[in-house]
């Protein structure tokens, strides 16, 4: 039959170069990747077979067979799943998924560990076979296609691959690895069984290997293990989430996570629940320890696999988890949904809404558990959970900080997306403050140490922690020892539109409106401020005129101690930082002018009145206040010119 030679997509060629130069620090995981692909092929056949039972042909029992030939130095993994057509072999084995090619290549860094993680995330684990093989042969036939339309794909992992049409009676796929000289250990039944038990014991279909028995040697020759021709199942062959929790080890939970997430790191924690009631389902949900590279892609599908009565339905079932929890990985197996459920039906189903609500609450419970640094109650709770197993019984000290450093900014999106759980989410948020440079201060912590007479939770938003810490708007708060939360995530400005108070205490930006410390400001200070405002009326009028194109208003303030001026916005106005962010993103921002507040006690302000350089000084005051909060003058050259003129 005619062979056709094809060149690998350029990105695949680069990927193969990385793989063959020991990209994976743990080469044995090639077997996990290939067995996982075989399991996926079986899942796809089950799914398509729901509407077309003929695809099973005369072989309804799905399985994976692993065999080796010491003489030929080959290792083969065979499944009787959905299989490939010739065009699918060319498309799937010669290119990286088109939707991810550009992102994949842009992320490759040359760091072996990091790049290995990317390979897994992009679902190109097939190429891991080249870690141990210098040639791979794939023979396959798609279910329902005639036997004379099978395909053979062969490559040495260099620049091209060959494809030819073959006769193949059996549906499904056989991957044959022609092992490298240094890969002898994978021609050993004991070694292969141990790897299957380690990485693939949870696979829901049987993994078979040929039995071996000891045969004594003859004529002084040593004995050896010989194959009997009988096949035996070497894994438990049951879906991990369906087993009793007492039968599942921590290592098995971890390996299952790595298989479904393609994440080489162990998860931070997990929860395995069976929920009963009006809607029955099992959930096995994981919190990763590291954020994926595409965490901020809100179009990325959720990492939840949906099963119905143990039959795989779909990957990335976004309807089962809200967008702000898109980092969660796991499996949900429903006892109530129809087997032919579609993505459209998922959006409309009452059962799906119940599963989504229950899963959301479960994830929040996991986070609350980590945040409290103690073990979770395993008794039935109000969510209907009757069978709970947590990741472990070890102290969780430090785990929430690790989680929050990776995913805290995404969690904040929930304030605007999940009104029903807004209060629970608010309790999980952490910020830096004038008392802590790390994001470790919760709103409850802040409120517990508020000064007597303090009536608001004060915060400031900025582009960086340094800009927030050194903002002149904090000066009076520092002087009085009032803690201020420092918010530096880009999502903070947006999320705070949905969080006006916490546990009855209002949140107040120190950069909005006139400063009002209420009972924390004594009568003497209030009287002095009023007198200063009265005395400076003529100067304020001149400043307003000089800055009429820049400032909405100019007023005397009590919030400044060391700085001459700062910028604020009105209580209901958009912050300057948010306006800058919108413009940087190419979006429309309302044209508003800030308010310039001046420190009546500052020497520079006192020199303003009567100065021949009044207009220049007024503009410099404004531009310096803008610089102090992370902005830039509209005309930087004019600012420099004014400063230079005064210096001369």
153 has pLDDT over 90: yes
Higher pLDDT, 109 or 635: 635
Contact yes or no for 422/415 (Cβ under 8 A): yes
pLDDT at position 446: 94
Rounded Cα distance, 34 and 152, in Å: 17
Rounded CA gap, 383 and 340, in Å? 27
Angle between helices 29-49 and 189-199 in degrees, nearest 10: 60
For residue range 520-545, list pLDDT tens digits in order: 766 777 777 778 778 888 888 889 99
CATH class for domain 416-519?
A: alpha beta
Asked if 564 and 598 touch (Cβ cutoff 8 Å), the reply is yes
In the chain, domain spans: 3-214+228-238, 241-400, 416-519, 522-647
The reported pLDDT for the residue numbered 606 is 84
**Residue 123 reports pLDDT greater than 60:** no
pLDDT at 99: 36
Q: Which pLDDT score is estimated for 45?
A: 92
Residues with Cβ within 8 Å of 78's Cβ and at least 6 positions away in sequence, in order, are 38, 64, 65, 66, 67, 172, 173, 174, 175
Question: Which of 127-136, 337-346, 578-587 has the highest mean predicted lDDT (pLDDT)?
Answer: 127-136
Q: Of 198, 196, 205, nearest to 237 (Cα)?
A: 205
Asked whether the predicted pLDDT for residue 102 surpasses 70, the reply is no
Closest residue by Cα to residue 252 from 289, 197, 208, 304: 197
Kindly state the percentage of the chain with pLDDT values over 90: 35
Q: What is the mean pLDDT of residues 185-210?
A: 89
Contact present, 454 and 520 (Cβ < 8 Å): yes
The 10s digit of each residue's pLDDT in 45-75 is 988 888 899 999 989 999 999 999 999 999 9
Greater confidence (631 vs 484) lies with 484
Pairing of strands 436-442, 430-433: antiparallel
Residue range 30-46: average pLDDT? 88
Top-ranked range on mean pLDDT: pick from 38-47, 370-379, 577-586: 38-47
Per-residue pLDDT at 395: 46
pLDDT tens readout for residues 432-472: 999 988 888 999 999 999 988 888 999 998 888 988 898 88
Give the three-state DSSP class for 73. coil
Of 160 and 420, more confident? 420
Across 4-13, 163-172, 244-253, least confident range: 4-13
Query: What gap in Å lies between CA 6 and CA 613, rounded to an integer?
Result: 75
At 269, the pLDDT band (50, 70, 90 cuts) reads very high
* For residues 340-349, average pLDDT: 73
Mean pLDDT of 373-390: 44
Least confident of 365-374, 468-477, 490-499: 365-374
CB 510 within 8 A of CB 487: no
Residue 144 has a CB neighbour count (10 Å cut-off) of: 16
Residue 378 has pLDDT above 60, yes or no: no
Q: What is the DSSP string of 303-321?
A: EEEEEETTEEEES--GGGS
Q: Is the per-residue pLDDT at 406 higher than 70?
A: yes
Q: What is the pLDDT of residue 429?
A: 95
Q: Within 13 Å and on the Cβ side, how many CA atoms surround 485?
A: 28
pLDDT at res. 447: 93
- Looking at residue 110, its pLDDT comes to 55
How much is the pLDDT for 577?
65
522-647: CATH superfamily: Heat shock protein 90, C-terminal domain (1.20.120.790)
Task: Please give the residue that has the higher pLDDT: either 382 or 77.
Answer: 77
Report the pLDDT value the prediction gives residue 176, as an integer from 0 to 100: 97
**Averaging pLDDT over each range in 247-251, 508-512, 608-612, which range is the top one?**
247-251
Q: Which one is predicted more confidently, 507 or 348?
A: 507
What average pLDDT is seen over the chain?
83
Which CATH number fits the domain 3-214+228-238, given the four candidates 3.40.30.10, 3.30.565.10, 3.40.50.2020, 3.40.50.970? 3.30.565.10
Half-sphere exposure of 358 (CA within 13 A, CB side): 28
Q: What pLDDT shows up at residue 300?
A: 61
* Residue 576's pLDDT band (cuts 50, 70, 90): low
- Determine the topology of domain 241-400 in CATH: Ribosomal Protein S5; domain 2 (3.30.230)
- The contacts of residue 264 (CB under 8 Å, 6+ apart) are 26, 113, 116, 117, 120, 258
Instruction: Report percent pLDDT > 70 for the chain.
Output: 82
Q: Give CA–CA dist 325/425, Å, rounded.
A: 11
Residue-wise pLDDT for 285-298, tens only, equals 999 998 877 777 66
For residue 104, give the H/E element and its range.
helix 101-107
């Amino acid at each position: 039959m005619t062979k056709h030679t094809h060149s690998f997509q350029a990105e695949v060629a680069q990927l193969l170069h990385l793989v063959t130069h020991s990209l994976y620090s743990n080469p044995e995981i090639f077997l996990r990747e290939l067995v996982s692909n075989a399991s996926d092929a079986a899942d796809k056949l089950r799914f398509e077979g729901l509407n077309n039972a003929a695809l099973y042909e005369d072989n309804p029992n799905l399985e994976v067979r692993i065999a080796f030939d010491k003489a030929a130095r080959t290792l083969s993994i065979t499944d009787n799943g959905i299989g490939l057509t010739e065009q699918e072999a060319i498309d799937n084995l010669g290119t990286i998924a088109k939707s991810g090619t550009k992102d994949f290549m842009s992320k490759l860094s040359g760091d072996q560990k990091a790049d290995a993680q990317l390979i897994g995330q992009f679902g190109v684990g097939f190429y891991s076979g080249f870690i141990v093989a210098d040639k791979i042969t794939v023979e396959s036939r798609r279910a329902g296609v005639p036997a004379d339309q099978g395909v053979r794909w062969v490559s040495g992992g260099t620049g091209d691959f060959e494809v030819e049409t073959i006769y193949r009676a059996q549906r499904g796929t056989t991957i044959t690895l022609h092992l490298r000289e240094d890969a002898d250990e994978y021609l050993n039944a004991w070694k292969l069984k141990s790897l299957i038990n380690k990485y693939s014991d949870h696979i829901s279909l049987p993994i078979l290997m040929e039995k071996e028995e000891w045969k004594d040697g003859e004529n002084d020759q040593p004995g050896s293990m010989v194959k009997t021709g009988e096949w035996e199942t070497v894994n438990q062959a049951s879906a991990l989430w369906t087993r009793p929790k007492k039968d599942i080890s921590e290592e098995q939970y971890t390996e299952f996570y790595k298989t479904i997430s393609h994440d080489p790191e162990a998860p931070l924690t997990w929860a395995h629940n069976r929920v009963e009631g009006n809607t029955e389902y099992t959930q096995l949900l994981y919190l990763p320890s590291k954020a994926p590279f595409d965490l901020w892609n809100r179009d990325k599908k959720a990492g939840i696999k949906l099963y119905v009565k143990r039959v795989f339905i779909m990957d990335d079932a976004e309807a089962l988890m809200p967008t702000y929890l898109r980092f969660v990985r796991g499996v949900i197996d429903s006892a109530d949904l129809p087997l032919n459920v579609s993505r459209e039906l998922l959006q409309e189903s009452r059962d799906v809404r119940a599963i989504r609500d229950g899963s959301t609450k479960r994830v929040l419970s996991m986070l609350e558990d980590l945040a409290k640094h103690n073990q979770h109650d395993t008794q039935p709770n109000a969510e209907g959970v009757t069978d709970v197993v947590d990741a472990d019984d070890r102290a969780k000290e430090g785990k929430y900080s690790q989680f929050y450093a990776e995913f805290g900014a995404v969690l904040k999106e929930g304030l605007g997306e999940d009104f029903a759980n807004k209060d629970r989410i608010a309790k999980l948020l952490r910020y830096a403050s004038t008392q802590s440079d790390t994001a470790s201060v919760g709103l409850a912590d802040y409120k517990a140490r508020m000064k007597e007479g303090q009536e608001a939770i004060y915060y400031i938003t900025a582009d960086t922690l340094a800009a927030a810490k050194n903002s002149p708007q904090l000066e009076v708060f520092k002087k009085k020892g009032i803690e201020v939360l420092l918010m530096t995530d880009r999502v903070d400005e947006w999320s705070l539109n949905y969080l006006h108070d916490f546990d009855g205490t209002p949140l107040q930006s120190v950069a909005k409106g006139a400063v009002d410390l209420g009972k924390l400001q004594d009568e003497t200070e209030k009287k002095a401020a009023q007198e200063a405002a009265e005395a400076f009326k003529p100067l304020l009028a001149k400043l307003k005129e000089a800055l009429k194109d820049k400032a909405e208003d100019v007023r005397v303030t009590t919030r400044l101690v060391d700085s001459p001026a700062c910028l604020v916005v009105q209580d209901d106005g958009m912050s300057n930082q948010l306006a800058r962010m919108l413009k940087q993103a190419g979006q429309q921002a309302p044209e508003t002018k800030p308010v310039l507040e001046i420190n009546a006690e500052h020497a520079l302000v006192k020199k303003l009145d009567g100065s021949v350089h009044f207009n220049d000084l007024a503009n410099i005051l404004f531009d310096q206040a803008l610089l102090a909060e992370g902005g830039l003058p509209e005309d930087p050259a004019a600012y420099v010119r004014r400063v230079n003129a005064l210096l001369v």
